[in-house]
């Protein structure tokens, strides 16, 4: 348990069983390397970890890897669950792991997913040059009941995308995608424009 939680009344701490399924990464304009997700969870018994490495195929990376742990959420003085951060970093490895690049990150507030059953969504990555999207399934089941009533913060929607088909397709002009280039010079303008339109909805 974190030191910051030692001074919080037990009546305001609620345990939840957290399950996360890391499904796939879509619309990646690269053709080489292995990819994995590094994760960190605040207030969790298992606070960090990583998925196995997976290759890229047709501009998509598939893991279908799950992790399970207990998280200790806190009820604030306003009776709303306080934030519990899930931080994700998607890493590309080249040359047998000698060269690594972070291609995007994502931060979610797990408290927003309480009481929603299994929530499956596709998220636009932050700090990503490609507008790639990550598909996750998240579930939190309450394990302890201290009798305290609490409210769940609203789920933020600006990061969420419909589970649309992969937009990046093979081009005859192979110059659009370079094998070992981390930053693609010209990345399917039409696909990026469509993503921008969806983000503004």
User: 12-43 burial string, b = 16+ CB within 10 Å, else e?
Assistant: bbbbbebebbbbbbbbbbbbebbbbbebebbb
Q: What is the pLDDT averaged over residues 14-34?
A: 96
Beta strands in the chain (DSSP E): 13-26, 34-41, 48-50, 54-57, 60-74, 85-94, 99-109, 118-124, 133-142, 160-161
Total residue length of the chain: 201
Give me the percent of the chain exceeding a pLDDT of 90. 65
Check: pTM over 0.75? Answer yes or no: yes
Query: How far apart are alpha carbons 201 and 186 in whole angstroms?
Result: 25
- In three-state secondary structure terms, 56 is strand
* Structure confidence at residue 156 (pLDDT): 84
* Neighbour tally for 6: CB within 10 Å: 7
Which H/E stretch holds residue 190? helix 189-199
* Structure confidence at residue 49 (pLDDT): 98
* Structure confidence at residue 150 (pLDDT): 94
Rounded to a whole number, what is the distance in angstroms from the first to the last CA of the chain? Answer: 40
Q: What is the pLDDT averaged over residues 17-24?
A: 98
- In three-state secondary structure terms, 9 is coil
**pLDDT above 70 (res 100):** yes
Which domains are delineated in the chain? 3-199 (2.60.40.150)
**pLDDT above 60 (res 26):** yes
DSSP 80: B
pLDDT tens-digit map of 111-170:
999 999 999 999 999 999 988 999 999 999 999 887 888 999 998 875 666 555 444 433
- Stretch among 85-89, 151-155, 164-168, 190-194 having the lowest mean pLDDT: 190-194
* Structure confidence at residue 25 (pLDDT): 97
Q: Report residue 145 as tokens.
A: 């009941």
């Amino acid at each position: 348990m974190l030191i910051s939680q030692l001074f919080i009344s037990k009546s305001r701490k609620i345990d939840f069983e957290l399950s996360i399924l890391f499904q796939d990464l879509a619309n990646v304009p690269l053709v080489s390397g292995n990819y994995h997700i590094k994760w960190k969870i605040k207030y969790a018994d298992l606070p960090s970890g990583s998925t196995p490495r997976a290759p890229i195929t047709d501009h998509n990376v598939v893991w279908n890897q799950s992790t399970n742990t207990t998280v200790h959420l806190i009820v604030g003085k306003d009776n709303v669950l306080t934030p519990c951060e899930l931080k994700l970093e998607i890493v590309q490895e080249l040359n047998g792991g000698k060269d690594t690049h972070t291609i995007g990150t994502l931060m979610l507030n797990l408290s927003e997913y309480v009481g929603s059953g299994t929530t499956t969504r596709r998220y636009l990555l932050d700090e990503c040059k490609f507008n790639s999207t990550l598909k996750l399934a998240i579930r939190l089941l309450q394990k302890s009941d201290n009798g305290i009533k609490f409210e769940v913060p609203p789920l933020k929607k600006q990061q969420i995308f419909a589970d649309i088909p992969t937009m990046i397709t093979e081009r005859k002009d192979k110059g659009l995608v370079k094998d070992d280039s981390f930053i693609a010079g010209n990345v399917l303008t039409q696909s990026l424009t469509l993503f921008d339109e969806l983000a503004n909805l």
